[in-house]
Amino acid sequence: MAGRGLHRTDQQPTRFLHWKGWTYRLDGELLKATRISGIKNFRKKDFGLIPIKVATWGPFVLISLDQNILSQQNTVEDIVGKEWLGSTSNLLSTNRIDSSLKHICRREYTIECNWKVFCDNYLDGGYHVPHAHGGLASGLKLNSYETLTFEKVSIQRCESASVEQDGFDRLGSKALYAFVYPNFMINRYGPWMDTNLVVPLGSTKCKVIFDYFLDASLVDDNVFVEKSLEESERVQIEDIALCEGVQRGLESPAYCSGRYAPTVEKAMHHFHCLLHASLCNDI
């Protein structure tokens, strides 16, 4: 329907919004609709913009399309804490996930695998890291790897090894990898943070959107930025090869099912339980 859309519920109606000749107040009320002569029983109040809930947390803007929460008088912190991050909000905030970081760039990868395969690869508790990511593994103390699970978030943490001899330190003293169900990841390490959004493109294809953020003090250090992005790119290419190989295996007539490695794949099991619950509720 022309003119049908979304608006923020915290805007004040001091200006107007126009869409294809339809005019709205910023509170979503339709003021004027053009070229609708001949339509019977048209009532402007039935065609206002649909309200949505908006909140911010660190560098992220969050929206909820759940109509059930619109009547609740939640604060921004309540929305973020209960609807998005659950009890991990404070934990992630104290691990330097904040809006002081500067956005550096965005990179996108189209991968020939189901979106869940990419998530599984991310969530295996470092299981594949020493075998598939030699460069990354050399910078991590994998025996310190730990996994924590919460309502709809899992967190993987690992201490970093000593700084390389040339002084290049992309990982810092520790790395934190947070998976927010169903398809968003936040990675914080050294002066960097990157986020990964996995978008399904079909049953055997997905797109992964990476956004890179950096401590403001290093934004102008072009050598450090480029070398860091090269290292990250190398890891992503290695992961793409893994994920596409897994997808080919899943399509094999010989494939049946696997088992979880209890000491490392807790986050993956957590993801699968949440996904199973979602699918059962939708059926």
Least confident range of 89-93, 150-154, 156-160, 170-174: 170-174
Q: Using the Cα atoms of residue 56, residue 174, residue 140 and residue 104 in order, give the sign of their dihedral.
A: positive
Place of tokens 């990354």: 136
What pLDDT score was predicted for residue 10? 47
pLDDT of 143 > 80? The answer is no
Give the model's confidence band at 8: pLDDT under 50 very low, under 70 low, under 90 confident, else very high.
very low
Domain boundaries, given as residue ranges, for the chain: 6-86, 95-282
Reading the block at residue 227, the tokens are: 């070398």
Rounded to whole angstroms, what are the CA distances from 167 to 162, 170, 172, 185, 262?
10, 10, 11, 28, 37
Nearest of 187, 179, 184 to residue 228 by alpha carbon: 187
- CA torsion through residues 164, 243, 96, 11, sign: positive
In the chain, % of residues over pLDDT 90: 43
- Highest mean pLDDT: which range of 119-128, 138-147, 240-249: 240-249
Helix spans in 101-142 (H): 115-122, 129-132, 134-137
Are the C-beta atoms of residues 267 and 147 closer than 8 Å to each other? yes
Give the amino acid at 16.
F
The predicted structure's pLDDT at residue 28? 86
Using an 8 Å Cβ cutoff, are 16 and 26 in contact? yes
Q: Which of 158, 156, 160 shows the shortest CA–CA distance to 139?
A: 160
Separation of alpha carbons 133 and 239, rounded Å = 8
Report CA 85 to chain centroid distance, whole Å: 11
pTM: 0.79
> Using 50, 70 and 90 to split pLDDT, how confident is the model at 51?
confident
DSSP H or E segment with residue 103? strand 102-111
- Region 57-62 average pLDDT: 77
pLDDT of residue 61: 80
Distance between CA atoms of residues 42 and 35, nearest Å: 12
Q: pLDDT digit string (tens) for 225-264?
A: 999 999 999 999 999 999 999 999 999 999 988 889 888 8
Contact 77, 57 (CB under 8 A): no
Outline where DSSP puts E strands in 6-101.
Answer: 6-8, 16-19, 22-25, 30-32, 50-57, 60-64
Mean pLDDT over the full length of the chain: 82
**What confidence tens digit (pLDDT) does each residue in 188-200 have?**
988 999 999 999 9
Strand order in the sheet with 22-25: 16-19, 22-25, 30-32
**Would you say domain 95-282 falls under CATH 3.90.380.10?**
yes
> Cα separation of 256 and 51, whole Å?
46
Q: 252 and 231 in contact (C-beta within 8 Å)?
A: no
Residue type, 31: L
The two tokens of residue 160 are 């970093």
